[in-house]
Structure 1
């Protein structure tokens, strides 16, 4: 029987070979065989794209290969959409990525599922500034907004965007790994969370659920740790880079690209720590550190470089009680326990 499961391996091969036309042919062949478009999007394109990300994380694929595969997946989604092209019989749903969020394919899949279910969908794409989204909502009547966030470090920005939509009296549904695999950080921000496209479609169709909101639980921000950390972001990155250079002299031989990557990683450490402070959850930071260690080790960078940076930040932020606890929890996480401490 023809279906997404049987076509998966061949489709993934097309992505690996950067064969755009072959990948489109696989998807359209399933359509011609009577497989619903929604199943092709969710059971073929989505899991294949997740595997693309995993292959990049394992250092099996380069950034260029990942980008090429993502582009092909976007072309496949466009081809499936063009061949179905349902006429809307329901209200407008605006779908967008958070400001600074560039992972546009997952929300694009949500947008297409909503369109297949009869909604008039406006897909605004990646990194939409909050002010521009609100301006759009003022000009176009929307039944709801669906916002995507793949990276937890964007949660403070996500919260501001959610509140801006609510001030425009437009209900909000959010999705993406940035809110936690179980949506726990969405609940902390008091917003509806959908783990997948079908759930998002069910939520926007449920008027009572859509209008039912709960307040954000952010009283911990009164300690000012989050705001203070954000103000010191540049200083923290510079001091961490200096400390790393003193402990790891080989950094002096880094190429400009390697140095830029190192600075980027240090920035992510600070940004994820700030996001963890914002939602008051050390697991957000610990999970990122574990992911970063796995990525770096797969690329030949020893885990000790992360351990020493966490140790340095702990010393610098000794007067930040919550941040200090989060840094210590990350240093005790799996993958770092075996890394020696340099004092």
Structure 2
């Protein structure tokens, strides 16, 4: 493996909260503006991008449509183009910065008393902030007072803000499944502070299954759905007797804890074994070796997240995505197989982990 996937979140195009058009009419209305904005993003021209937003608003598009169906659609395309190796990581970051700036020029006018106060934040160590920003701006457009806290919000700081402001609800966003243990901690802490939690983002599953498993009070598949749910009525506040930490029975086997604690060693030992047993690594440059170590770290991280929620599909989907991205970059996907074999050797005493690796190997084989 010689692919740097440190910015593994690029697979989502910064879209932990999906902002896809919800009706054919809206899609057709936004399509020409998507093409124009995409051209400015590719050119790296932020001034032209702002002109596109202004022109779209002047042509009669609603700000929410511009936000979700134009800017949001372009950002999703950024992720697709990166995965297909048609856009570099630097290009993706530049495009995201332009889209973020475009969001800032959308008009938000408060009329009357706000519906209530909502805190929107990314869970700790989740740096993909644009999904949460889309939710925050959608709620502002619909008349809510919003405290947008941005990326990588430490749970202790989030709780301090809740105690100071007393929000009606907290919206937590996460794009990467590797953040689920931290998301669980944030959900239970917010509930213990007396505020209900709505979650969103690809980390929680396309159907929200991990949000429900981790005890969230609500889940939304996209920014519009989040706003609609909050408009439908307040989320129930946790009662003083609310059990905020529900044990996940599968964690009783301690596999998650042991694998998480030994993750650095697993990466190190797998890397050294690969270097000794794989002829193709002997001619690697220092940069290629560094990238291989990073790739191994991601594999272990996704395996650990899978163990936390007892969901092998988190691991298999990551393996499938990695194989596809490797192939797009001219790296044989079969390069993943030795790493999985060596990782399984080290986890011989962990049956769930071995089962998940076997599932990943089967997924990989189906793509070869």
TM value normalised by structure 2? 0.87
Q: Give the Cα separation in 1 of the matches to 2:162 and 2:183.
A: 17
1:74·1:105 contact (CA, 8 Å) conserved in 2?
yes
Match status 1:205 vs 2:220: no
1:21 is displaced (CA, Å) by: 1.1
Given the superposition, is the C-alpha separation of residues 252 and 129 from structure 1 closer, same or farther in structure 2, using an over 3 Å criterion? farther
State the match for 1:156 in structure 2.
Answer: 181
1:91·1:119 contact (CA, 8 Å) conserved in 2?
yes
Match status 1:318 vs 2:318: no
1:209 is displaced (CA, Å) by: 4.5
State the match for 2:71 in structure 1.
Answer: 45
- Which ranges of structure 1 fall in alignment gaps of 5 or more residues? none
1:228 is aligned, of 252, 258, 269, to 258
State the match for 1:239 in structure 2.
Answer: 269
Q: How many residues align?
A: 336
Q: Deviations over 1:203-225 (max 9, x none)?
A: 22344544489985711111111
Match status 1:336 vs 2:343: no
Match status 1:171 vs 2:200: no
1:261 is displaced (CA, Å) by: 2.2
Match status 1:116 vs 2:145: no
Q: Give the Cα separation in 2 of the matches to 1:276 and 1:338.
A: 21
Q: Give the Cα separation in 2 of the matches to 1:147 and 1:49.
A: 20
2:108 is aligned, of 60, 75, 84, to 84
Match status 1:134 vs 2:159: yes
1:303·1:336 contact (CA, 8 Å) conserved in 2?
no
State the match for 1:306 in structure 2.
Answer: 336
State the match for 1:35 in structure 2.
Answer: 61
2:83 is aligned, of 57, 76, 100, to 57
Q: Give the Cα separation in 1 of the matches to 2:92 and 2:367.
A: 31
State the match for 1:6 in structure 2.
Answer: 32
* Aligned-partner SS, 2:91: helix
1:66 is displaced (CA, Å) by: 0.5
Q: Give the Cα separation in 2 of the matches to 1:188 and 1:111.
A: 25
* Aligned-partner SS, 2:170: strand
1:204·1:210 contact (CA, 8 Å) conserved in 2?
no
* Aligned-partner SS, 2:172: strand
The 10-residue stretch of structure 1 (25-34 or 316-325) with the greater mean CA deviation from structure 2 = 25-34
The 10-residue stretch of structure 1 (146-155 or 132-141) with the greater mean CA deviation from structure 2 = 132-141
* Aligned-partner SS, 2:105: helix
Q: Give the Cα separation in 1 of the matches to 2:224 and 2:121.
A: 17
**Highest relative contact order (Cα 8 Å, sep 6+), 1 or 2?**
2
2:211 is aligned, of 186, 208, 212, to 186
State the match for 1:73 in structure 2.
Answer: 99
1:91 is displaced (CA, Å) by: 1.6
Backbone CA RMSD of aligned residues: 2.0
1:173·1:204 contact (CA, 8 Å) conserved in 2?
no
